[in-house]
C-alpha cells in the first residue's frame, strides 16, 4: 500500500459515512478513481455495514417488551423533587383552563375584599376625623375648661396655640353641652364637657 | 450515503405528556425506541437476555429522570446514552472486560495490520452473516458499540461521541479499528 493509500485509508470510513469536509471528499474520490486497492477496501466497508444491518434486523421480535416496561414503571416512585415539579406543572395547566381562570379571579377578589376592606375602613375613618369641618351654629363663646382651647369664632378653626389648628368636629346644640375636637399633630381627640356635665 | 434515522411525528408532545406522568405517552415512546435501545445494549454486551434486561432498565431510568431531559440532544441520543452507560457499567460489574479509555483507543490504530490485501468475500453471502456474528464477538464492547451505532442505528460521529461520552476523534479511531478488525477476522474465518 502506497503512502498516499495509507493516508487515504484513514479517510475511507468517514468518506463512506459522509463525515469528511468537502475538499477531503474530493481528494478521496479522486484517489479512488485511480486506486483499485482502496476501492476494494471501501467496498468491504460497505459490505460489512450492509451485513451488520441485516444481522441486527434478524434479531427476534420483542414480544411483550413494552408491557414489561409498563409494569415496571407502574411501581416507580419518582423522586420528590420530580413529583413536586409535576404537581406544579399540573397546577399551571389547571389554572390555564377557563374554569381555573374563573376560580383564580374569584379567589383574588375574595382576598382583596378581606385584606383591603378593614384598611379602607380605618383609612376613611381617620380622614373623617382629620378633615377640617366647618363649625355650624356656634353663636356664643363657650366657657372652656382650663386645659381646653378657646373657642373664638363661628365657623372657624380653633387654634391650640402651637401653630396647628384644633378642629371642632361636632357641636350638638347652640348651647353646647359637649364639644369634641381633634389635634392631628398629636393624633389626639379631645372631648370637652362643660362644668357640671361631668 | 445514509442519513441518520430520525423519528417523526408527535414525539415532542409525547415527551411533554410523559413528563407530566402520562404513562400511556411514555409507553408510546417505549414502542418507538425499544428495538434501537435493545440494539445499543446488545452492541455492548452482545447477549440477547442481558440486552433485554438492560433495555428495560434504560426505560425505567428514563421515566424516572424524564424531567432532566432538556431537548439539547435528541430524545433518542439521550436514551442511547443511558443504555450505553448501563451496558458498560454492567460489563465492568461482571468483570468481563477492562474498559478502554479514550487515550488508549488512540493507540489502537497501530494494532491494525495492513488494511490492504485480498477482500474477505471468498465465502458465499449466506455464510457471511454467520461469520460476521462471530467476528462481532471478537471485538471489544467499545468497538462493537461504535460500529453498530454507526452502521445499524445510523448515528453521526457527533451523536456517537455524545452517546458514548468520548471525543469525536476517539469515535473515528475506534470505528476505523473496528472496520478493519472485522475485515481481518472475516478473512481469518474464510475457508482455505
User: pLDDT tens digits for A164-181?
Assistant: 555 555 554 555 566 777
Model pLDDT for residues B115-133, shown as the tens digit of each residue: 555 666 555 666 777 788 8
**Which has more confidence, A127 or B87?**
B87
Put simply, the answer to whether A76 touches B35 (Cβ < 8 Å) is no
List of residues 6+ apart from A8 with CB closer than 8 A = A27, A28, A31, A32, A35, A38
pLDDT at B158: 93
Lowest mean pLDDT among A104-113, A180-189, B177-186: A180-189
**Which has more confidence, B142 or A175?**
B142
Phi and psi, residue A184, nearest 5°: -60, -30
Residues of B in contact with A37 (CB under 8 A): 116
**Which has more confidence, A94 or B103?**
A94
List of residues 6+ apart from B182 with CB closer than 8 A = A48, B132, B135, B136, B139, B147
pLDDT at B1: 43
**Which has more confidence, A157 or A63?**
A63
Chain B neighbours among A 113-152 (CB < 8 Å)? none
A2 pLDDT band, cuts 50/70/90, is: low
Q: Has residue B175 got a pLDDT over 90?
A: yes
Put simply, the answer to whether B128 touches A51 (Cβ < 8 Å) is yes
Cα–Cα nearest to A150, from A163, A162, A141: A141
B27 touches chain A (CB under 8 A): yes
Could you tell me if B183 and A48 are in contact, meaning their C-beta atoms sit under 8 angstroms apart? Answer: yes
Phi and psi, residue A159, nearest 5°: -105, 125
Q: How far is B93 from chain A (nearest CA, A)?
A: 23
Q: Has residue A29 got a pLDDT over 90?
A: yes
Residues of B in contact with A9 (CB under 8 A): 115-116
Query: What does the DSSP 8-state code read for residue B5?
Result: P
A148 pLDDT band, cuts 50/70/90, is: very low
Average pLDDT over residues B177-188: 87
pLDDT at B114: 46
Instruction: Round the average pLDDT of chain B to a whole number and report it.
Output: 81
Lowest mean pLDDT among A99-103, A104-108, B58-62: A99-103
Phi and psi, residue A34, nearest 5°: -120, 5
**For residues B51 and A136, what is the distance between their CA atoms, to the nearest angstrom?**
99
Could you tell me if A32 and A38 are in contact, meaning their C-beta atoms sit under 8 angstroms apart? Answer: yes
**Which has more confidence, A25 or A139?**
A25
**Which has more confidence, B70 or B51?**
B51
Residue A196, exposed/middle/buried by CB under 10 A (0-12, 13-18, 19+)? exposed
Q: Name the one residue in this structure whose C-alpha cell is 368636629.
A: A169
**Which has more confidence, A61 or B146?**
B146
B26 pLDDT band, cuts 50/70/90, is: very high
Put simply, the answer to whether A41 touches B115 (Cβ < 8 Å) is yes
Model pLDDT for residues A36-60, shown as the tens digit of each residue: 999 999 999 999 999 888 887 777 7
Provide the percentage of residues in chain A whose pLDDT is more than 90: 25
pLDDT at B169: 94
* Angle, vertex CA A192, rays to CA A187 and CA A194, nearest 5: 170
Global pTM?
0.61
**Which has more confidence, B29 or A107?**
B29
Chain B CA closest to residue A80: B64
Residues of A in contact with B136 (CB under 8 A): 52, 55
Could you tell me if B99 and B92 are in contact, meaning their C-beta atoms sit under 8 angstroms apart? Answer: yes
Model pLDDT for residues B72-96, shown as the tens digit of each residue: 778 988 999 999 999 988 988 876 5
Q: How far is A30 from chain B (nearest CA, A)?
A: 17
Lowest mean pLDDT among A59-63, A64-68, B41-45: A59-63
Chain B neighbours among A 71-100 (CB < 8 Å)? 72-74, 76, 78-79, 82, 85-86, 89-90, 93
Amino acid at each position: 500500500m502506497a503512502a498516499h493509500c495509507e493516508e487515504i485509508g484513514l479517510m475511507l470510513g468517514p468518506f463512506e459515512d459522509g463525515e469528511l469536509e468537502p475538499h477531503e471528499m474530493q481528494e478521496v474520490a479522486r484517489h479512488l478513481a485511480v486506486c483499485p486497492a482502496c476501492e476494494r477496501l471501501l467496498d468491504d466497508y460497505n459490505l460489512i455495514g450492509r451485513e451488520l444491518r441485516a444481522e441486527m434486523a434478524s434479531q427476534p421480535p420483542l414480544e411483550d417488551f413494552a408491557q414489561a416496561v409498563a409494569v415496571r414503571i407502574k411501581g416507580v416512585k419518582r423522586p420528590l423533587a420530580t413529583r413536586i415539579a409535576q404537581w406544579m406543572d399540573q397546577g399551571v395547566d389547571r389554572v390555564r383552563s377557563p374554569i381555573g381562570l374563573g376560580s383564580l379571579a374569584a379567589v383574588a377578589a375574595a382576598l382583596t375584599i378581606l385584606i383591603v376592606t378593614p384598611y379602607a375602613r380605618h383609612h376613611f375613618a381617620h380622614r373623617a376625623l382629620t378633615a377640617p369641618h366647618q363649625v355650624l351654629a356656634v353663636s356664643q363663646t363657650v366657657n372652656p375648661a382650663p386645659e381646653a382651647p378657646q373657642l373664638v369664632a363661628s365657623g372657624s378653626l380653633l387654634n391650640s396655640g402651637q401653630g396647628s389648628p384644633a378642629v371642632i368636629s361636632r357641636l350638638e346644640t347652640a348651647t353646647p353641652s359637649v364639644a369634641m375636637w381633634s389635634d392631628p399633630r398629636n393624633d389626639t381627640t379631645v372631648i370637652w364637657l362643660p362644668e357640671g356635665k361631668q | 450515503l445514509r442519513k441518520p434515522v430520525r423519528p417523526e411525528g408527535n414525539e415532542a408532545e409525547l415527551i411533554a405528556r410523559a413528563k407530566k406522568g402520562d404513562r400511556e405517552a411514555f409507553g408510546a415512546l417505549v414502542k418507538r425506541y425499544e428495538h434501537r435501545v435493545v440494539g445499543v445494549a446488545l452492541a455492548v454486551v452482545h447477549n440477547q437476555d442481558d440486552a433485554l434486561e438492560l433495555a428495560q432498565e434504560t426505560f425505567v431510568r428514563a421515566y424516572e429522570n424524564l424531567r432532566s431531559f432538556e431537548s439539547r440532544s435528541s430524545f433518542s441520543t439521550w436514551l442511547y446514552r443511558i443504555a450505553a452507560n448501563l451496558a458498560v457499567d454492567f460489563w465492568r460489574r461482571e468483570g468481563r472486560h477492562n474498559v478502554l479509555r479514550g487515550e488508549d483507543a488512540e493507540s489502537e490504530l497501530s494494532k491494525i495490520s495492513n488494511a490492504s490485501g485480498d477482500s474477505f468475500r471468498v465465502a458465499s453471502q449466506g455464510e457471511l452473516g454467520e461469520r460476521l456474528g462471530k467476528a462481532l464477538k471478537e471485538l471489544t464492547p467499545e468497538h462493537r458499540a461504535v460500529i453498530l451505532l454507526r452502521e445499524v442505528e445510523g448515528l453521526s460521529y457527533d451523536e456517537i461521541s455524545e452517546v458514548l461520552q468520548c471525543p469525536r476523534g476517539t469515535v473515528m479511531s475506534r470505528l476505523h479499528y473496528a472496520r478493519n478488525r472485522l475485515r481481518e477476522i472475516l478473512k481469518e474465518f474464510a475457508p482455505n
